[in-house]
Structure 1
Amino acid sequence: MSCAAAMAAGCDGGGVDRALASGAMRARALDDAMDAEGGACAALVREVMHAAAADGGGDGLSATSSSAALKAMRARAVSELETRAKTMRALADARVATAQGAYDAVDEAITKLDRDLAVFEEAVRARDRSYDDLAVRNVGALGDADAASPASGGFVGSGAYDAPMANPNEPTYCICQQVSFGEMIACENDDCPIEWYHFACVGLSVKNKVKGKWICPTCKKRESSRR
């Protein structure tokens, strides 16, 4: 598994989505319950006030209400309002806890992603260092295509890195005679017998890309021998 795939597999984005969706549903349910409690309280107050108006005045909730029936209604209303107020406080606390849970889920996912990114970046740096080291080892080990072939043993970099499994029907390139993979560069000599090369096989790296025209070491050596 590649570093990127491992990082993607380790980051449970689906778990965060599920937690947020569940939290949103619970928050809506709590909001609806709080609205219902608030509506019930308002209806109860209106009922007592209407009864007080019919009884001859007052708001029905003050201690000066004269009617015994109104006083009894007032006592029941105050008791019910206190009970509903406690219920609304509990719902509000649950609403805050739900929001905190959603925040914690997102924060945990971000923290884990930061850790995974740090591991991934270090793996990339390690790969680049290894790739650069291989390129340095291959410098000076380049000869003509025959001397550098794996069969002749003239190429010290042969097999030093992991090439993909070759399809027997897929064309091969480079002095290592492997299939195309990774960073490659083309020799701009029209008569080059190989044409395409892997960076590491010709001493190049992703941090040291060629600017301008590039001629492979094999063609350079042949040009020198003709002079």
Structure 2
Amino acid sequence: MQDFIEAFFNFGILAEAWPILLDGLLQTLLISALVVPLGILGGLILALLSTAKTRWIRWPLMAWVDVFRSLPPLVLLVFIYAGLPFAGFEVSAFTAVAIGFFLNTGAYYGEIMRAGIQSVPAGQMEAARSLGLSRAQGMRLVVLPQAFRNVLPDLISNTLEVVKLTSIAAVVALPELLFQARQAQSVTFNATPIMAAAVAYFILLWPVVRLLSKLENRQLARRT
């Protein structure tokens, strides 16, 4: 038991590794604060374009969403960071992460928001138009607020996955939390930094998990 504690919960090593773990946590928060809004923005654009009635907009859009939902985000990130320089485009690790997450998570957010828009009865838009609102105003003021409310648990759930997925930024040497924890582990030959990173993720995401459960229960109660 003592060996287990020394290997995974060594507070002496934790005290030494804490400064770089804190730097990694701040970097993770910064990445999340960037990629989540980018993904939501990209998803909103895709969802709005999906309401177009012309096939030349909808079909390429479907192909775009299918491609970026099918590609593993790790492969996409490596391609952007290591592949684009061969085409003459040098990108930093942070830029590569921002682009990769925008393409991947935007496709997922887009499908969620598209489902939300489709869940709003068509009569809502017709009522908005009858009141003198333009289609854009009806979408912004009437349809989208209801759509977001209908799929809010799904949006939060996807956001949780996005924040956890930021750990793959370590593959392009972006010093986020997991990267820093692995660096500390390689120096100390001890798993305590990895355990500390896991605890930090738990503390960061657990309140959001509880909020998600509450919203899901409320939505279920509304349906019954």
Mark yes or no: TM-score above 0.5: no
TM-score w.r.t. the length of structure 2 is 0.27
Q: Which has the higher contact order (CA 8 A, sep 6+)?
A: 2
TM-score by length of 1: 0.26
More helix by share: 2
